[in-house]
Structure 1
């Protein structure tokens, strides 16, 4: 019989509808090599607050199929609904909504875009909100060591987004035995210089240093705009 962790580690076809090309125009603005972090934050804020063709309307049916699978992975592996969860790059709260649906209510959200956080606040799916990026060149967060049982990240990787080195800060704020669950478009790890030939060696180095262990990685077919996704689950040691 498969353990809960093993059940979260099988290749999955998310089978979303095929989106039209124009749906991802705003998203592509945030995925330019060398883009400045301040520009990214302003683009996301503008996108979240548009009255016509907003982030929620464009991304929910397509990009955020992953938010369900991230929340389900938490549910598969943690029966205690009172655990502390931090949703990094929480956006407008899609992961938070799914976590709430599964019965998890002790969830905090972190995002670098004020506009995204304002939208998330309106959904009342998080207890605390952090307007912050994570990882260098940003200073460490003010979050105490070992505060959270689980960290979730859905779609947080990209040029100028969450750097490889942010893993260290995530490990610091998760309790030993806690999980870091991260889903991203697989092609991002090969396409952009911030991750190409860097992401895999970096996460492997953390394992060699006995900071965490990789529990599994899951491939999701047609995760985002017809592209495959990958979800990593790591246990902090």
Structure 2
């Protein structure tokens, strides 16, 4: 299969459950970067541009960043390229984190699942200046209640940046409530939306959707 066919077989398969996705990534980890380079490069570049636009340049070198659903760390070089020096990663697949470790960009590498009230092991409340999720919201990946953990680990005034395929808001049943939950969390005084951006031809030829929130 081509790289795009491999990717689509994962994210467009509505029969997959989280355990099957975990197994898929375990088997895919070693070739993931090669297979996903062309598919994700535009989205990751655009996400890093959005982060650069919103997070002050004079604070990046000291800021603490948590890359959620980090995978093999494909976002890491982009973050380092705009001045971030202190990055941690969390992902559900240890083989993916093993590949990420070779980048020598991340400090903590935490293998953990999010959602259902689970806390990331070893991470205290209000620890991070920035939390990112790039591609984590799709079929059988991060549950939408992972956002509660994002808010927990963010410092007051900290930023959350999310990048995803816009199409999934409608096509993935478990994501229908993602933006309503984001809005409810804003109503509840947990954060403020600073931006919602849509861009054509970002991820596998589909529209990319980018969210920026700042914790109150």
TM-score (norm 2): 0.92
Relative to structure 1, the CA distance from residue 231 to residue 115 in structure 2 (aligned partners, 3 Å threshold; closer, same or farther) is same
Give the secondary-structure state (helix, strand or coil) at the position aligned to 2:200: strand
Greater RCO, 1 or 2 (C-alpha within 8 Å, sep 6+): 1
Task: Give 1:107-118 correspondences, 5 Å limit.
Answer: 107-118=87-98
Question: Is residue 160 of structure 2 the alignment partner of residue 205 of structure 1?
Answer: no
* 1:47 maps to 2:28: yes
Residue 126 of structure 1 corresponds to 106
Q: Is the 8 A contact 1:44 1:113 kept in 2?
A: yes
* Matching residue of 1:221: 200
Flag structure 1 segments of 5+ consecutive residues without an equivalent: 1-20
Equivalent of residue 60 in structure 1, options 37, 40, 43: 37
Does 2:15 match 1:25? Answer: no
Q: How does 1:164-175 map to 2 (within 5 A)?
A: 164-175=144-155
Deviation for aligned residue 1:34: 4.3
Cross-structure match for 1:9: none
Q: Is the 8 A contact 2:48 2:78 kept in 1?
A: yes
Determine which structure has the larger helix proportion and give its number.
2
- For residues 15 and 186 of structure 2, what CA distance do their matches in structure 1 show? 29
| Alignment check: 8 A CA contact 1:29 1:43 kept | no
Whether contact under 8 Å (1:48, 1:55) holds in the other structure is: yes
Shift of 1:71: 2.4
Structural RMSD (CA): 1.5
Distance 1:125 1:220 in 2: 28
Aligned partner of residue 72 in structure 1, secondary structure: helix
Q: Where does the alignment leave 5 or more consecutive residues of structure 2 unmatched?
A: none
Quote the residue 1:88 is aligned against: 68
C-alpha distance in 2 between matches for 1:62 and 1:222:
10
Secondary structure at 2:174 match in 1: coil
Q: Which runs of 4+ in 1 moved over 6 A?
A: none
> 1:78 is matched with which residue: 49, 53, 56?
56
Q: How many pairs does the alignment contain?
A: 211
